[in-house]
Structure 1
């Protein structure tokens, strides 16, 4: 695409988004060209003139409609067909690390995921979550920090529709994770799904990216296929202003997986993306003797972002390990036998104070806490025209 066309696309995108997301006033003032030099902070908007609520609402509706129409036209004209990274990949993160540039269908965001796009684009917190994730290029720890600050059901819904349901963004490469599951830890042959029924506290975690969230309560109930696991956990905001409460259900089947090595297979949806896992029960106690009940679980899983793995410990009470040195020793021994290093355990905080819970980005009050900048508008183009911006080497979600 010619440089002039690309510049026009980004300029129109910036104008439309600025129009849509500016504070509603009766005097609508569009930013003046040249837009491509507008990465400096916007000047404060003029004081709003007196206007009726009905007129203000009409202006907001018109502004939003204009934004979506302009963005759709601009991005439809700038669709890019990227060459995939060579060979097979394990997911978005691997594809990006190999130099692949994602393929995007700009019209898909508005034609097939229009409701989700409108809901997210009209909320500054959700929109900043999109640009945050775009800067991460699917790197998981970076993405988790984006969710810690900007996570919401609106963002989940947008990701689910655009990445999974309608595939507005794809790699175009072959994804193969089969070898990842071959190297499985040794599962206990004595485990049965009924061993997990009831309430458990996750008290130790092995992978800081996935296992160490605070306030992790898991409740297992029997189903014809195996178990349903209702999961509660909190994602803390990096500025210590509170947490985002997560509550979802994963479905577990009593089957060993394609490789025949798992204790159970698992499917669920978190942060808008479906995950598939294989669980391996490495150690357990039924609590009948002097040793309190516990389960030591290792897992391997994957989403569109790529494969991941970790381990954790369940106990029936949140402080079981602290009350029983023998239990700690038994868990550590079982971990070593399975090739895990007990010194890497994180201690999960299950104190769970009631105050501070939020639903980030879901409502006008929470959304108003975030302020859009010009760079957010430019960075949004990366989703619709991948390869527009270079990957930032020192991107920090907490400084957005």
Structure 2
């Protein structure tokens, strides 16, 4: 993988230039102290190369079907001219200091750097350690102050006539026809579209607010929900519900290549997306919307597709139509994932609210302890302080790949759903039950 070569160089620059080691990130006991040292870590010294490693990985976490241009840019090594070390202390001091004071921010960067360009591994790191401090420092150093000069894509949304063409003809939809709650039930891009318990709610925005956002389109609020696992050393597994809000602008420009466009942030970095509605249900079918999209960040470009349904389950009567639409768009429907939405049928009492990596999600105060300072307040007894230190050391030193792999291994392809045949037709129940 060419991303892995670039990342290896970035992480290597950390060791050679700064003499940093994993052990150096874990504070040891000071003389006369029964617990972890509270001495500040010198992230202003090691921040640039460490964040460079993480930034490159964040780029790979936004998948592209083309090769990762970042690897070409660095030609096998992270060039010194791509990093401005003074910028971290001068322009992003508050964010960098906050990262230094937030153990999970450092753990997230360390975890990502050890992934060596592996996308699944990197997503797993943000699912496990993602927090506001990490998002803030990446946003400042990459986008706001350009401490890391790794942008290779022009910022900003595509114009309606400049957006990529859709893979098949658009079908007419209006904000009114999209209003209300929709569940994602099928997804094409495993890195974006296949997380569990996905529900999107559409509602119109106030007239004046809509005018301020877009003068050439109709605006709706989109409330996005999904869940991801968060496993920590020494703690029981939890599922976290992420929630974020987006503004989706429906284009009204004659000849527009797309249905709508949106902008948001993930991993602290901005993304811009074009949405193309390329299929809707017939009157006799269960309701669905087939959406293809293209998107970009400053580091990469990507694409994907998903199917909305009004219920958190596959729209059985419409599946042959959906399969046909997918193939007309050059997408093989049996390669789509079937999104697990069973949480909407049986509420999980263990479900908590803090986000895995979305800065605009709503986090419950009661769960902040899972994402706050790993080197924070000393426990009341020396034994618990040392216990916390051992957990910190384990998390800094652990191999992050198994957890990332586990997240994606839970996804199920449509080819594994025995209820439907190759053309999406519903099989008699005795057929698929016998085959299970």
TM-score (norm 2): 0.63
In the other structure, the counterpart of 2:27 is 22
Aligned length: 326
Write the mapping of 1:179-258 to structure 2, written as runs, cut at 5 A: 181-223=163-205, 224=210, 225-237=218-230, 241-255=237-251
Q: Secondary structure at the match of 1:147?
A: helix
Q: Deviations over 1:94-138 (max 9, x none)?
A: 122454435111122232222222222233332121123335576
Q: Select the residue among 299, 304, 307 that pairs with 1:313.
A: 307
Residues of 2 paired with 1:309 and 1:173: CA distance? 17
In the other structure, the counterpart of 2:262 is 266
The 1:70–1:252 alpha-carbon spacing in structure 2 relative to 1, beyond 3 Å, is: closer
The 1:340–1:113 alpha-carbon spacing in structure 2 relative to 1, beyond 3 Å, is: same
Across the aligned residues of Structure 1 and Structure 2, the Cα RMSD in angstroms comes to 4.0
Residues of 2 paired with 1:358 and 1:341: CA distance? 35
* Structure 1: unaligned runs, 5 residues or longer: 28-47, 76-89, 377-393
> Is this contact kept in 2: 1:281–1:298, CA < 8 A?
yes
Residues of 2 paired with 1:279 and 1:301: CA distance? 9
> Is this contact kept in 1: 2:107–2:396, CA < 8 A?
no
> Is this contact kept in 1: 2:107–2:395, CA < 8 A?
no
Q: Select the residue among 146, 154, 171 that pairs with 1:167.
A: 146
Q: Secondary structure at the match of 1:170?
A: coil
| Shift of residue 310, structure 1, vs aligned partner | 0.8
Q: Deviations over 1:3-30 (max 9, x none)?
A: xx9978423x559x83x7415x452xxx
> Is this contact kept in 2: 1:159–1:272, CA < 8 A?
yes
> Is this contact kept in 1: 2:142–2:150, CA < 8 A?
no
| Shift of residue 349, structure 1, vs aligned partner | 1.0
The 1:195–1:371 alpha-carbon spacing in structure 2 relative to 1, beyond 3 Å, is: farther
Q: Secondary structure at the match of 2:341?
A: coil
| Shift of residue 274, structure 1, vs aligned partner | 0.8
Q: Secondary structure at the match of 2:196?
A: coil
Write the mapping of 1:1-400 to structure 2, written as runs, cut at 5 A: 9-11=17-19, 13=20, 18=24, 21-23=26-28, 25-27=29-31, 49=33, 60=38, 63-64=39-40, 67-68=42-43, 71=46, 93-97=68-72, 99-100=74-75, 101=78, 103-136=82-115, 140-171=119-150, 181-223=163-205, 224=210, 225-237=218-230, 241-255=237-251, 260-285=256-281, 289-321=283-315, 325-352=316-343, 353-355=348-350, 357=352, 359=354, 362-364=371-373, 369-371=391-393, 396=401, 398=403
Moved more, 96-105 or 294-303: 96-105
> Is this contact kept in 1: 2:185–2:308, CA < 8 A?
yes
Residues of 2 paired with 1:272 and 1:161: CA distance? 9
Residues of 1 paired with 2:143 and 2:117: CA distance? 14
Q: Secondary structure at the match of 2:342?
A: coil
The 1:273–1:302 alpha-carbon spacing in structure 2 relative to 1, beyond 3 Å, is: same
